[in-house]
Amino acid sequence: MARGEHDYDDIPGTFVFDQQRSRQGYGINMFCMSLMQDENRKAFKADEAEYLKKFNLTPEQTEAVLTRDYNRMLELGGNIYFTAKLGATDGHSFRHLAAVMTGSTQDDYASMMLGGGRSVEGNRSKSGRFDKPAGVAAKSRAKTAGARKAGKAKAGSKPKTRAKTSKKSKK
Amino acid sequence: MARIIAGVASSHVPAIGAAIDNKQTEEPYWKRVFSGFETSKEWMRQTKPDVCIVVYNDHASAFSVEIVPTFALGCAAEFPPADEGWGPRPVPVVKGHPELASHIAQSVILDEFDITVVNKMTVDHGLTVPMNLLFGSPAAWPCPVIPLAVNVVLYPPPTGHRCFMLGRAIRKAVESYPDDLRVVIFGTGGMSHQISGPRAGLINSKFDKAFLDNLTKDPQKLARIPHLEYMREAGAEGIEMVMWLIMRGALDDKVDEVYRFYTVPASNTAVGHIILENRAKGAKPAGKRKAAPAKLKRAAARAKVERVHS
Ligand SMILES: [Fe+2]
């Protein structure tokens, strides 16, 4: 069945783990869950392709796992809290995987986070129809106009440290 | 009668737990985070709750994709720390309060919240990290804990409004419990963060600050935030913040904000923390107590806030 359209598909660089993806990715996530046990980690490491046969993955899903294509795993129904167990089996932290998924180096990603993280400015909407703050944060809109021009780090592009770090962090 | 005396909200970043377990809390990066909880630990020592209700989410530890309960209330006598792939965290076993927990289950289900009762469950960093932040690392946790696990992993989580109303139902349940217990409720998770996909690393401090402000003074406004807005503004995983609204719904409409802390980052996440007290704290149950003039109370609250912020 084709994937239906959802309002959240407009959010850039984001694969929402919804009901349809959960159904589609059941095998990926149960495979990842199995890696919680040491003997399974060893069996997987010994012969990855053979081990994956137990989980009824599609060829695309199998390839995504074998090549450690974390974005593709999410797109095909994996969830980050599960795929992180695959990352942990390879000895990687959440932050390491996050850097990998953004296509940046570990150093660049770490300095982006220390600089206050990826700005939401320019990262709200693929269509551009929702690129202004809405709802609860809307009243600080006037103040963000300058920031929007100054520091855009588009999803997937090389992360750029935001000009202003959070003042609160110095408290 | 039992009473909810205060609410605590705190992020539950797994890397904070790892920093504690690996004794890195004195490193500058982590000291910045932990120093923000010193006042809170002192507050907790003085407050000495009889029971804590901790609203949190499981991260593929106790629940996989096999069963996904929206609200799962822990009614067991104890909850061992989960093995999250590196062995269980070296934290004490969480002792439950089965009597109060099952009382809450009975009450909220009749109030039309069809929660899942869980009598066997491990608890992961989602619960144990906020415990460490508020209680430190004691040999045993100082009070029983009722875990309330909320699904925020599989979309859609319960709406913010539903969470807020569940908080109200929990409050009603607690207040109909016959024993005199002083209860603190935790909302955990957040604040803004995204750990998945090419947009990972997203932080929105403006959203977070507005959320903290409104948590104190206009929670009804927060209860109307749609899921789309959380994900767009606060990151795909920032949607966890709906859990804070269960905590807030369990408190009075008007509360005193006694402490707040915010820092960026801890790993991929903005760390936010707030302590809110019901104004009847320490007083006799309503009706028997002489109400203090509202103006005086507000002034006292302001002084308190200034003190902890300076
Ligand atoms: Fe979480």
The per-residue pLDDT for range B29-49, each reduced to its tens digit, is 999 999 999 999 999 999 999
Question: Hey, is the C-beta of B221 within 8 angstroms of any chain A C-beta?
Answer: yes
User: Cis omega before residue B191 (within 30°)?
Assistant: yes
How many CA atoms within 13 Å lie on the side-chain side of A153? 27
Which CATH number belongs to the domain containing residue A38 in this structure? 1.10.700.10
Is residue A88 in some structural domain? yes
Put simply, the answer to whether A134 touches B221 (Cβ < 8 Å) is: no
Residue B236 and residue A117: Cβ atoms within 8 Å?
Answer: no
Q: In whole angstroms, what separates CA A164 from the centre of its chain?
A: 24
Task: Judge whether A119 lies within some domain.
Answer: no
pLDDT, mean over chain B = 92
| Chain A residue with the nearest C-alpha to that of B209 | A137
Predicted confidence (pLDDT) per residue in B54-85, tens digit:
999 999 999 999 999 999 999 999 999 999 87
Q: Which residues of B209-232 are buried (b: 16+ CB within 10 A; e: fewer)?
A: bbbbbbbbeebebbbebebbbbbb
Query: In terms of DSSP bridges, do strands B145-150 and B71-74 run parallel, antiparallel, or are they unpaired?
Result: antiparallel
pLDDT in tens, A10-52: 999 999 999 999 999 999 999 999 999 999 999 999 999 999 9
Say whether B206 and A133 touch across the interface (CB within 8 A). Answer: yes
Q: B165 in helix, strand or coil?
A: helix
Classified as helix, coil or strand, B112 is coil
pLDDT tens digits, one per residue of A141-168: 444 444 444 444 444 444 443 333 333 3
Amino acid at B256: D
Q: Which pTM was predicted?
A: 0.88
User: Which residues in chain B have Cβ-Cβ distances shorter than 8 Å to A94?
Assistant: 14-15, 195, 267-268
CB atoms closer than 10 angstroms to residue A49: 11
CA of A43 to the centre of ligand 1 (A): 29
Domain count, chain B: 1
Q: Which of B142, B178, B158 is nearest to B46 (CA)?
A: B142
Q: What is the extent of the structural domain holding B182?
A: 3-309
B154:A19 CB<8 A: yes
State the average pLDDT over residues B13-29. 96
Express each pLDDT in A60-85 by its tens digit. Answer: 999 999 999 999 999 999 999 999 99
The answer to whether B211 contacts A94, with C-beta atoms less than 8 Å apart, is: no
Question: Looking at residue B36, which CATH number applies to its domain?
Answer: 3.40.830.10
Residues of B within 8 A of A107 (CB-CB) are none
Give the integer Cα–Cα distance in Å for A42 and A20. Answer: 31
Q: What is the mean pLDDT of residues B97-126?
A: 98
| Per-residue pLDDT, B85 | 79
pLDDT at A132: 84
C-alpha dist (Å) from residue A142 to A39, B118, B232, B235: 56, 48, 19, 21
- Other beta carbons within 10 angstroms of residue B21's beta carbon come to 16
The answer, for B210 touching chain A at a CB cutoff of 8 Å, is yes
Q: What is the mean pLDDT of residues B225-232?
A: 98
Residue A112: per-residue pLDDT: 97
- Contacts for A2 with CB less than 8 Å, ≥ 6 apart: none
Contact status, residue A70 vs residue A99, Cβ threshold 8 Å: no
Taking the Cβ of residue B161 and every Cβ of chain A, the question of whether any pair is shorter than 8 Å is answered with: no
Total structural domains within chain A: 1
Whether the CB of B198 is below 8 Å from some CB of chain A: the reply is yes
Q: Pairing relation of β-strands B51-56 and B116-118?
A: unpaired
Strand B71-74 relative to strand B51-56: parallel, antiparallel, unpaired?
unpaired
Residues of B that are catalytic: 125, 193
Separation between Cα atoms, residue A128 and residue B17, nearest integer Å: 38
Contacts of B36 in chain A (CB under 8 A): 171
To the nearest 10°, the Cα dihedral for B279, B285, B291, B296?
A: -20
Of B203, B211, B267, the CB nearest to A136: B211
* Beta-bridge partners for B56: B149
**Could you count the other beta carbons within 10 Å of the beta carbon of residue A31?**
26
Distance from CA of B247 to the nearest CA of A (A): 19
B236 in contact with A, Cβ within 8 Å: yes
Which residues is B193 bridged to in the sheet? B269
Cβ atoms B188, B9 nearer than 8 A: yes
Domain that holds residue A31: 16-114
From the list B64, B211, B270, which residue is nearest A30 (CB)?
B64
